[in-house]
Structure 1
Amino acid sequence: MNAKEYKPVSVVDSARRCRSVTLAPGSDLPDWLLTSQQPVRLSGYISHWQAVQHGKYSADRLCQHLLEHYSGEPLGFFFGAPDINGRFFYNEDMSGFNFEKVAADLGLILRKLLDTQTMTAPPSIFIGGTHLQQYLPGFETQNPRVPVPHEQPRNGLWVGNKTRVAIHQDLPLNIACCVAGRRRFTLFPPDQTPNLYIGPLENTPSGQPVSLVDLHAIDEQRFPRFRQAMDHMQIAELEAGDALFIPSMWWHEVEALAPFNLLVNYWWRTTPDFMDAPINALQHALLSIAGLPPEEKQIWQDMFNHYVFNQHGTQHDHIPEQARGILSQPGEETARRLRSLLLQALNR
């Protein structure tokens, strides 16, 4: 099939809309939502925020609201030439990126953003994932924190014009809150990784590996399996005041659809703090297992299934509890012992 048939509107129209529910603004999040393995759109959930009300009046008023809470510390933002059309990505040969990351005063960034609203071919400007509490410490006094089940969730500030963040995934659970403008999330379940054509693990545009597929110009000859991913694709479109719950490790592209957009999100994990990020284990496996002969890989796949992915939890019952060592129940002491062993091995 000709790739030209895949226009943005056809991708959107062919996708299933994710589940949408209405909760009272600022109300507690139900358990069924927090444990959902599917994304859920929360209609009007932050409509009570002062920032949402300011943004509905005008982008200028919202900017003033942000600056009232600004700490004054320069913050980083992405800047791309008009010809990238809002898509922050690699350059053509993937030796670098098609944008620059610089730091500036928030007031200056916001003024530049406001100026782009009337341009026919604006540059792409994007504040991405900036720590809200660090740069806008008083923001939550008028825009109450979403009651996620974590004492100190990481919250991010995302501000920009019509921009796109490539398909990526995040380990933490996530609630993304559309404060101003409109956002389109295009989501894929974690099991679609083989069909998404993920790029490098370490040389990434903003920290997370991304899909090399451009949803606005799908190259089906280069990415033939992407059609299978599209069969599982879901879309959530957010207006100002809406929010979206994204389960851990769901792939998602985020597209800002208005000339001025602002989003605040909350990331948190339900696992204990002593647990490391699983990506560290993946990287170590690339070092120690990926290059093995096929028959040895199979052995180690079976070993991982036995020691790591076994769901019964009885595989160590034959060992006296006091003698299990690093096979003991996960905890801070076991984690310390494992880190010590890994450091000794890696520092050889």
Structure 2
Amino acid sequence: MAGLLAIAACSSGEGGKASGLTPISYAYLNNGIGFLPELMIKANPALCAPFGIEPEITLLSATTATPAVSAGKVQAGRVATGAALVNASKDPESLKLVASILGVPFYLFVPKSITSPEQLRGQKLTFPAPGGIAELLVRAYLDEQGVAVGKDVTATYSGSAGASVGLAASGAVQGLVWNQDLPAPAVRAGFHRLTQLGGSERLDAIGSNAIIVHTPFLKDNRPAVAGMLECMRKAISLAQAEPLKAAGILAAAQGISKEAAAAQIAASPPSNTSTVWQFSSLQPASAKLVISALEKAKVQQFGDFDPSRVIDNSLVETR
């Protein structure tokens, strides 16, 4: 809570008034490579000055970020599309989904003795939390393969990504989801990539992130929100064009060596594709695919909620 109060204080506008820039508080979820654009901005907020904004980039957990934006304690942020829809369905006037981002892909890792989804029957998979991106992706993927989580495969919940790695390394589970090279303990335990959890319309929708904005802030500060999107694009371009600089920023955020950070970047799609981190509009049909996955996983029933009510694509589509 103290962190959120500090964000509110930083976003009061005093610094922005002096500089002529509009302050905007923005939340991100972790210091992993998936949020490298946000880390680039956090390391150099002046990157956004040409777009008329003064950002305050703050790390919040996956469970607190979306409610914080919904309550106006933070003005914007990037979160899982599913989390955004869950919160927006409960209070449709509180936030808007203004862009969709297909980030760094997720992979299903299993012991080397398992080479097909069918062989996961009777096995245990671990996820950080119920109803998160990792679980929803695996449920959807295995469903396409005729294997049902809960019936054919047991789901367990570790509480964190790091704890999931520990369970895999100990042999307590036979599958986990990761979005980069697997940490050494799980590798030593013989885990390998079974498949990428993406490539279909359904899986890409479930695995996507959304840029969300507190609705009152959006109404009063549309140019600032547009500026934040433009600054994100600039940060994405820098991360792809200057991998050594990006590695230094990633290393500082994770407390690792520049060499280890550079290896992460080299092994990840951002180093060789222009599709990662690119903005697009969030179509209601895609949102409904995410809602269907959430309902099937028994995270929440949405009833007659219409996702188009909380989607505002105008800032992306008019660029």
TM-score under structure 2 normalisation?
0.25
Larger strand percent: 1
Which gives a bigger RCO, structure 1 or 2 (Cα 8 Å, sep 6+)? 2
Rg: which structure is higher?
A: 1
Higher helix share: 2
